[in-house]
């Protein structure tokens, strides 16, 4: 599997240190600290202006007042999900939400979509042992527009034994620069948090009969990634992979963990798109995807305290869908944490 990416390094924040010199007045030290306070408190911004406009620009020292995009932006959201019982390069067919794309003036929420497959049940008296959230062969984009007890807002794939799945969320914003003047334009979003869990088939055995014996996946590929495109050109990326190649045979079993670009905690990402010309139109797209392929046909059975348990490999990959709270009187809902503004 190959992935095309264009990543720009996150500029390192400058650190200013103020030290009191012997005999320096308290007022002088405070003045020095205050002079550096904006630099210490400023948000880190990734400058992608040259990729977007073709012209290199320095980040503005004093960006000015933040002005929301308002009616100059139109929005569209699409979700897709697919699940397969086997180890497949493409799980398809995709279940789509909000397709074909329709741009609107209001900020839409993520579109829920799900592909869930049945799991063969064991004989009577045998219980399947899975992950904490159950035994599932499922890919889904779960998004609760209104807060409910235990509500979920995430894109996820979970396999049981062998399985392949993908869940993708695309959020597009069409930006039109007004006719009055060029605008220094920014795209800001809260990056999703990456979550991963797994359990291998296990039973008691070995020389003593009381040792835990595992049957691990023969092959495994996971990917969770966020990519930002402007007019189809990738300008920011982050990706996390867990891999067990078929011919990978280390002395002790272990997966390969790879990380590309900026790590994926749930943090703010701000991209400076550059000074967009009058009447220019740009389309920015934030794509959040999580994918999983597992080849683990083997299971194990054990008996504990008179109960028969069947243990199989289970794997889960997910990305949260960060949302902010929208409140209007008695109405309360969530909306995606993505915005465009100028300064």
Burial of 182 (0-12, 13-18, 19+ CB in 10 A): middle
In 3-state terms, what secondary structure has residue 99?
coil
Residue 262: predicted pLDDT: 79
Percent helix, strand, coil in the chain, to 5, is 5, 50, 45
Nearest of 139, 101, 137 to residue 121 by alpha carbon = 137
Nearest of 149, 123, 118, 152 to residue 136 by alpha carbon = 118
In 3-state terms, what secondary structure has residue 112?
coil
Residue 13: predicted pLDDT: 36
Burial of 107 (0-12, 13-18, 19+ CB in 10 A): middle
Residue whose pair of structure tokens reads 């005999």 in the numeric block:
23
Q: In the chain, where does DSSP find H-type helix?
A: 26-41, 49-53
Measured in whole angstroms, how far is the alpha carbon of residue 253 from the centre of its chain? 28
Nearest of 319, 321, 320, 317 to residue 157 by alpha carbon = 317
Residue 251: predicted pLDDT: 62
pLDDT tens-place values along the chain, 343 residues long = 333 333 333 333 333 333 333 444 444 433 433 344 333 334 678 999 999 999 999 998 887 889 999 999 999 999 999 999 999 888 878 899 998 888 999 888 899 999 999 998 888 888 888 898 889 999 999 998 776 655 789 999 999 999 999 999 999 999 999 888 899 999 999 999 999 999 888 777 767 766 677 788 888 999 999 999 999 999 999 999 998 887 776 666 678 888 888 777 768 899 999 999 999 999 999 999 999 999 988 888 888 777 888 888 999 999 999 888 776 656 667 889 999 999 8
- What six digits make up the tokens of 296? 């683990």
DSSP lists the bridge partners of residue 155 as 141, 319
């Amino acid at each position: 599997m190959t992935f095309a990416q264009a990543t720009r390094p996150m500029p390192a924040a400058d650190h200013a240190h103020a030290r009191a010199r012997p005999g320096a007045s308290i007022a002088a030290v405070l003045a020095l600290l205050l002079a550096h306070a904006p630099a210490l408190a400023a948000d880190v911004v990734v400058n992608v202006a040259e990729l977007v406009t073709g012209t290199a620009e320095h980040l503005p020292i004093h960006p000015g007042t933040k002005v929301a995009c308002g009616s100059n932006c139109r929005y569209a959201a699409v979700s897709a999900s697919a699940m397969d019982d086997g180890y497949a390069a493409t799980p398809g067919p995709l279940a789509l939400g909000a397709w074909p794309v329709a741009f609107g003036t209001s900020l839409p929420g993520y579109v829920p979509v799900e592909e869930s497959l049945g799991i063969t049940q064991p004989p009577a008296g045998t219980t399947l042992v899975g992950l904490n959230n159950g035994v599932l062969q499922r890919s889904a984009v779960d998004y609760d527009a209104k807060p409910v007890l235990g509500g979920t807002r995430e894109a996820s794939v979970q396999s049981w034994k062998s399985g392949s799945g993908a869940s993708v969320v695309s959020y597009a914003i069409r930006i039109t620069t007004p006719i009055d003047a060029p605008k220094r334009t920014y795209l800001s979003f809260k990056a999703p948090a990456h979550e991963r869990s797994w359990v291998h088939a296990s039973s008691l055995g070995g020389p003593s009969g009381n040792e835990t014996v595992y049957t691990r996946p023969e092959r495994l590929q996971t990917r969770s990634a966020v990519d930002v495109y402007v007019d189809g050109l990738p300008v920011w990326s982050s990706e996390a992979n867990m891999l067990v190649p078929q011919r990978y045979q280390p002395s002790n079993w272990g997966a390969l963990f790879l990380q590309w670009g900026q790590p994926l905690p749930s943090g703010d990402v701000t991209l400076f798109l550059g000074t967009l010309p009058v009447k220019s139109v740009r389309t920015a797209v934030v794509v959040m995807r999580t994918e999983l392929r597992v080849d683990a046909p083997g299971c194990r059975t054990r008996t504990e305290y008179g109960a028969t348990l069947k243990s199989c490999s289970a794997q889960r990959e997910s990305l949260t869908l960060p949302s902010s709270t929208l409140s209007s009187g008695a109405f309360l809902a969530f909306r995606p944490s993505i915005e465009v503004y100028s300064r």
